Amino acid sequence: MTDMDEYGGFGETGHLESLFDFGEVDTEGFQPEDLMSDDPFQAELPNDIVPEPTDATEFDAPAHDEPVDEGSVDDEQADDEPELELDDPSAEFADPSMMAPEDPIVEEPAAPAEDPALQDDGVYGSSHEWNTDWFFQQTDGYCGPTSAAIIVNEYHDAGITDPEYMVNQAYELGLTQDISQGMYMSDVQTLLESSGVPCENVNSSMADLAQRLEDGYGVIAFVDSGEVWGDAADAGVEDNLPDHFLVVTEIDTNTGMVTLADPGSPTGNGTQMTIEQFENAWADSNYEMIATTTPDPELGAAVSDNQQLAIANVTGSDVIR
């Protein structure tokens, strides 16, 4: 029996090579005192026990591309050196130019204080701005030319007070053969533009009308006169026919009232009706109106003082008297 046979079968070198993969074993130089080395694998074992290879005992010697300088690092010194702990191990070697910059802290600007003058006070337009522009039409069929004259007075300080002035102009332009039969919306638009007031014919809404008044525009609305004046005929049977032009000068949502410059009534300067009544009268024409396309400077300046205007057709037909 060899010296290796005393340790339970370790004498077969082929078995050692497969277990530890250390290559050839030098059996000639083996001495019993080698069992006293510090190697934990050299502990004395019973002859009938051969250790099973496990993850804890089976290992491969680390491979090195380059020879290790054994004198450069002392094993005991290396064990004593504390390990450097990094939250991000890659941060120690990161290229500063490749690191993402921190997002700058941007402070939100303080909201500007609201100008009290810009706050909505519920009043759109300025009825008193039209007090000197209004006059009575006197004759049936003159509401279109008279409403146009009221707008021209406001825009150009024309000072027109005679209903015949604009009626004669309508005849000269060939807009009508018989003014007593009234005028079409397009004819009133032409009459205004020929007097130096650019405008447009549109179907609108109460909100749009209020905004135009607030911005200093003039508007003529096409309404049902029976709902404005309370005609006896309309009291019995509502005809739902638009047949009248008038100027709207102010809408006050605080009081719920609309102020008009109505040429069809001797007391029509600054006359008032509820917003609901006016809207019903105007709805009969599908909210049709003639609106100026440029604001009047005086009306624009009067916005802060609640001054503005508009003309509405409150009749029930295309021809307005």
Quick check: 250 and 123 in contact, CB under 8 A? Answer: yes
pLDDT value at residue 299 = 83
Element (H, E) at 299: helix 297-302
- 235-244 pLDDT, tens digit per residue, is 555 678 999 9
pLDDT value at residue 240 = 85
What is the residue-averaged pLDDT of the chain? 75
CB atoms within 10 A of CB 208: 15
Q: Tell me the residue type at 175.
A: L
pLDDT value at residue 111 = 58
- 75-132 pLDDT, tens digit per residue, is 555 455 555 555 555 555 555 556 556 666 766 666 555 554 446 789 999 999 999 9
In the structure, what pLDDT confidence band is assigned to residue 36 with cuts at 50, 70 and 90? Answer: low
- 263-287 pLDDT, tens digit per residue, is 999 999 999 999 999 999 999 999 9
Cα atoms in the Cβ-side hemisphere of radius 13 Å centred on 229: 21
Q: In order of start, what are the domains of the chain with their CATH numbers?
A: 1-55 (no CATH), 123-313 (3.90.70.10)
Give the global pTM. Answer: 0.60
- 168-209 pLDDT, tens digit per residue, is 999 999 999 999 999 999 999 999 999 999 999 999 999 999
CB atoms within 10 A of CB 23: 8
What is the average pLDDT across 19-40?
A: 51
The 3-class secondary structure across 77-144, one letter per residue, is HHHHCCCCCCCCHHHHHCCHHHCCCCCCCCCCCCCCCCCHHHCCCCEEECHHHHCCCCCCCCCCCCHH
Residue 320 pLDDT exceeds 80: no
Is residue 193 exposed (0-12), middle (13-18) or buried (19+ Cβ within 10 Å)? Answer: middle
